[in-house]
Amino acid sequence: MRVILPELKELIAGREEKLIRDLFRFFDPVDVAEIWDDLSDDERVYLLKTVDIGDSVDIIESLKTGQQKEILTILPKDNVKAILDRMEPDDRADLLFALPEVERKKYLELMATEEEAETEELLHYPEDSAGGLMTTDYAYAYDDMRVSEVLKHLRKVARDFDDFHYIFIVDRDNKIKGQVSLKDLITAGPRRPISDIIDQRVVSVLPLADKEEVARVFAKYDRPSIPVVDRLGRLKGIITSDDVIDVISEEATEDMHRFAAMTGETGDYIETGTLTMARRRITWLLLLTFAGFLSGYVIESHSSILKYIIALSFFIPVLTGSGGNAGMQSATMVIRALATGGISLGDFFRILRKEVLIGGVCGVILGVATALRALLVQKNPILGLIVGLAMFLAVTLATTLGGVIPILFKKLGIDPALASGPLITTIMDALTLLIYFGVAITIFSLI
């Protein structure tokens, strides 16, 4: 079920307060985000002022940061305050994080004291750390309570937050002792001490853990939420799986962009300006063009042999191309397996052996195909021998290098995704040409 744009516009035009409010008994406010760009500023403000505060908070939370910033500047102060005070602490911190210092201060002052302090604390953590992902709105109870007391306590505080799954159990020093699922809580006898049903198998992350690490912990342990706990064992907040779903998707995007040799932040395609995008791409393009001159130099220093048998030049693109393609395949395979934990640094020799073999198999097939082409089209068996052998060697080497370079990068503390497709194809261009002319010279010297 989706909010239908013309209907919503009509309801707003007719100032149908009650109908608009009722809409959100059936539609998720998230759906409004999808048609946000099609609403005028007046319509947006009217909508946010009309629906229940909970729904208007949900609408704001599901907008993109740029859209959030925009609407906050045109909404009346009272509404901004009401919305900010009720936003999820993590979403609110993300929004404020994106604002310039001055505006951030202005909004912080607008907020209720407790929310302000909460937000200030969250703003201390780097945006892509566990602390930057976590929310401070979580359900907790003390380890000396009974089941009935916990339930009573929860009923009292439940209105403060959206929803929860686990109740985190802490001692009076806020040190985490374990967790209880709501399900276990309602099925346990009310007189039992909470420590009877506590699950002590807490999987937690440190506040400064990188968000990639957080994503891996979620992927491994299959839990709906994971607590953020400092080195002293104190509960600082929790991260919920919906935030991690976004992280996993963003991380994959980041890796892909790096693999395509793009630098900088991976913003929204539509929102990002043309020049910003060009800047993200040109750094590596330029570097790789300079590196590409190396290949030119290799050809230049062998131009005498090339003049002697010009047909050698016909095979330059297919050789460098296939070398690049093969290298890109193994690099992609290994980079992705490193990112998802499918392989680790200890697997170096296993990977080396495997990629050499795969490269050899592919190299033989492509080598034969290329040799046949030279034999059938150029009718030149010597040329066939040269290009076939060069193809075999280039593909085997490319596959091997594509597989091991990302691992070496990781060993050196460099992001393996930087072993990009363009980097590998450019390196392979020069190496393939060296192999090619080397093979040609050797064979000519033998006959």
Q: Restricting to residues 382-411, which ones interact with its own copies according to CB under 8 A?
A: 391, 395
If one asks whether residue 191 binds its own copies (CB under 8 A), the answer comes out as: no
User: Which lies closer to its own copies via its Cβ, residue 106 or residue 360?
Assistant: 360
Q: How far is the CB of 443 from its own copies (least distance, A)?
A: 19
CA within 13 Å, CB half, 376: 6
Q: How far is the CB of 85 from its own copies (least distance, A)?
A: 20
User: Which lies closer to its own copies via its Cβ, residue 136 or residue 399?
Assistant: 399
Per CB under 8 A, which region of 11-19, 41-49, 119-127, 258-266 contacts its own copies? 258-266
Per CB under 8 A, which region of 36-44, 45-53, 106-114, 269-277 contacts its own copies? 269-277
Nearest C-alpha neighbor of 238 from the set 159, 170, 157, 146? 170
User: Which lies closer to its own copies via its Cβ, residue 54 or residue 76?
Assistant: 54
Nearest C-alpha neighbor of 437 from the set 291, 292, 299? 299
* Integer-rounded Cα radius of gyration of the chain: 30
Q: Restricting to residues 129-188, which ones interact with its own copies according to CB under 8 A?
A: 139, 151, 154-155, 158-159, 163-165, 181-183, 185-187
Q: Restricting to residues 104-123, which ones interact with its own copies according to CB under 8 A?
A: none
Whose tokens are 């099925």? That residue is 187
If one asks whether residue 260 binds its own copies (CB under 8 A), the answer comes out as: yes
Nearest C-alpha neighbor of 396 from the set 330, 312, 298, 313? 330
Q: How far is the CB of 108 from its own copies (least distance, A)?
A: 25
Q: Restricting to residues 313-372, which ones interact with its own copies according to CB under 8 A?
A: 313-318, 320-322, 324-326, 328-337, 340, 342-343, 347, 350-351, 354, 357-358, 361-362, 365-366, 369-370
Q: Restricting to residues 205-234, which ones interact with its own copies according to CB under 8 A?
A: 215, 218-224
Q: Restricting to residues 49-88, which ones interact with its own copies according to CB under 8 A?
A: 62
If one asks whether residue 18 binds its own copies (CB under 8 A), the answer comes out as: no
User: Applying CB under 8 A, what is the total number of residues that bind its own copies?
Assistant: 124
User: Which lies closer to its own copies via its Cβ, residue 120 or residue 171?
Assistant: 171
If one asks whether residue 35 binds its own copies (CB under 8 A), the answer comes out as: no
If one asks whether residue 201 binds its own copies (CB under 8 A), the answer comes out as: yes
If one asks whether residue 426 binds its own copies (CB under 8 A), the answer comes out as: yes
Strand partners, 141: 169
If one asks whether residue 194 binds its own copies (CB under 8 A), the answer comes out as: no
User: Which lies closer to its own copies via its Cβ, residue 25 or residue 77?
Assistant: 25
User: Which lies closer to its own copies via its Cβ, residue 68 or residue 425?
Assistant: 425
User: Which lies closer to its own copies via its Cβ, residue 11 or residue 371?
Assistant: 371
User: Which lies closer to its own copies via its Cβ, residue 104 or residue 142?
Assistant: 142
User: Which lies closer to its own copies via its Cβ, residue 47 or residue 328?
Assistant: 328
Residue of 386, 433, 439, 440 interacting with its own copies (CB under 8 A): 433
Per CB under 8 A, which region of 4-12, 44-52, 109-117, 254-262 contacts its own copies? 254-262
Q: Restricting to residues 272-301, which ones interact with its own copies according to CB under 8 A?
A: 274-275, 277-278, 281-282, 284-286, 288-290, 292-293, 295-297, 299-300
3-state secondary structure the chain: CCCCHHHHHHHHHCCCHHHHHHHHHHCCCHHHHHHHHHCCHHHHHHHHHHCCHHHHHHHHHCCCHHHHHHHHHHCCHHHHHHHHHHCCHHHHHHHHHCCCHHHHHHHHHHCCHHHHHHHHHHHCCCCCEHHHHCECCCCEEECCCEHHHHHHHHHHHHHHCCCCCEEEEECCCCEEEEEEEHHHHHHCCCCCEHHHHCECCCCCECCCCEHHHHHHHHHHHCCCEEEEECCCCEEEEEEEHHHHHHHHHHHHHHHHHHHCCCCCCCCCCCCCCHHHHHHHHHHHHHHHHHHHHHHHHHHHCCHHHHHHCCHHHHCHHHHHHHHHHHHHHHHHHHHHHHHHCCCCHHHHHHHHHHHHHHHHHHHHHHHHHHHHHHHHCCCCHHHHHHHHHHHHHHHHHHHHHHHHHHHHHHHCCCCHHHCCHHHHHHHHHHHHHHHHHHHHHHHHHHC
User: Which lies closer to its own copies via its Cβ, residue 249 or residue 442?
Assistant: 249
Residue 170's identity, in one-letter code, is V
User: Which lies closer to its own copies via its Cβ, residue 101 or residue 268?
Assistant: 268
